C-alpha cells in the first residue's frame, strides 16, 4: 500500500512527485505548449502548471474519474474540444488549452476561477462566483498557482 500520508512511524519516502522525468517531459512538450499558448493567446507558464498538476507531464495518465492524457481531459470535454486521441500530446495540449481559454474568457481572465472551473466545472464556479468550497478543487487551484509562479520565476 502506497500513500502520501504518514500514518505510521515506519513510513519511508518511496517516490517524489515530478522530478527528472517531469523536467524531461517539459522539454519534450515545450514546442507544443508554446504553439498552443500562441494559438489561444495564453501564457505557456499557466499551461505547464496545469499539466504538471494534472499529470506530472505523463501523456498516458488516466485518473480514477476517467480523465486522460497530459491535461487530463474528460471524454466529453475532449469531444467538445475536438480531441480525437487524448493520449496524443499535441491533440491533448491543444484541446486542453482551448478549454482553458474558454474558461478564462467566461471568468473574465481570473486565473484562479478559470483553474477552479477546469477542475470542478464552470457551473459550480459560476454558482459560487469564487473557488468553490470543495477541498480537492481548493488544493488543485493552490497547486496550479504554485507551479505557475515557479515556472514564471524560472522563465521556462
CATH number, domain of 35, equals 1.10.530.10
Instruction: Output 24 or 155, whichever has higher pLDDT.
Output: 155
What's phi and psi for 5, nearest 5 deg? -115, 125
Query: Is residue 79, in this structure, part of any structural domain at all?
Result: yes
The domain of 90 spans 20-154
Given the residues 54, 90, 142, 150, select the one marked as catalytic: 54
pLDDT digits (tens, 9 = 90+) for 111-138: 999 999 999 999 999 999 999 999 999 9
Whose cell is 498552443? That residue is: 36
Whose cell is 522539454? That residue is: 27
Total-model pTM = 0.84
Instruction: Output 35 or 21, whichever has higher pLDDT.
Output: 35
Query: Is residue 93, in this structure, part of any structural domain at all?
Result: yes
Cα 117 from Cα 122, distance rounded (Å):
4
Contact 67, 74 (CB under 8 A): yes
pLDDT of residue 27: 76
pLDDT of residue 154: 85
CA 78 to chain CA mean position, Å: 14
Query: Is residue 129, in this structure, part of any structural domain at all?
Result: yes
Does residue 54 carry a catalytic annotation? Answer: yes
Element (H, E) at 93: helix 89-106
> Which residues, in sequence order, are CB contacts of 66 under 8 Å at separation 6+?
74, 75
pLDDT of residue 156: 63
Amino acid at each position: 500500500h502506497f500513500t502520501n500520508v504518514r500514518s505510521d512511524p515506519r513510513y519511508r519516502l518511496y517516490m517524489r512527485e515530478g522530478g527528472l522525468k517531469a523536467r524531461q517531459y517539459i522539454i519534450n512538450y515545450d514546442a507544443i505548449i508554446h504553439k498552443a499558448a500562441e494559438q489561444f493567446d495564453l501564457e505557456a507558464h499557466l499551461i505547464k502548471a496545469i499539466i504538471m498538476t494534472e499529470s506530472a507531464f505523463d501523456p498516458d495518465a488516466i485518473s480514477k474519474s476517467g480523465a486522460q492524457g497530459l491535461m487530463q481531459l474528460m471524454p466529453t470535454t475532449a469531444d467538445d474540444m475536438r480531441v480525437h486521441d487524448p493520449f496524443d500530446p499535441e491533440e491533448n495540449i491543444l484541446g486542453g488549452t482551448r478549454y482553458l481559454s474558454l474558461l478564462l474568457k467566461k471568468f473574465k481572465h481570473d486565473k484562479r476561477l478559470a483553474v477552479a472551473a477546469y477542475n470542478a466545472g464552470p457551473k459550480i464556479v459560476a454558482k459560487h462566483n469564487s473557488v468553490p468550497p470543495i477541498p480537492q478543487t481548493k488544493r488543485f487551484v493552490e497547486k496550479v498557482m504554485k507551479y505557475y509562479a515557479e515556472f514564471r520565476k524560472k522563465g521556462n
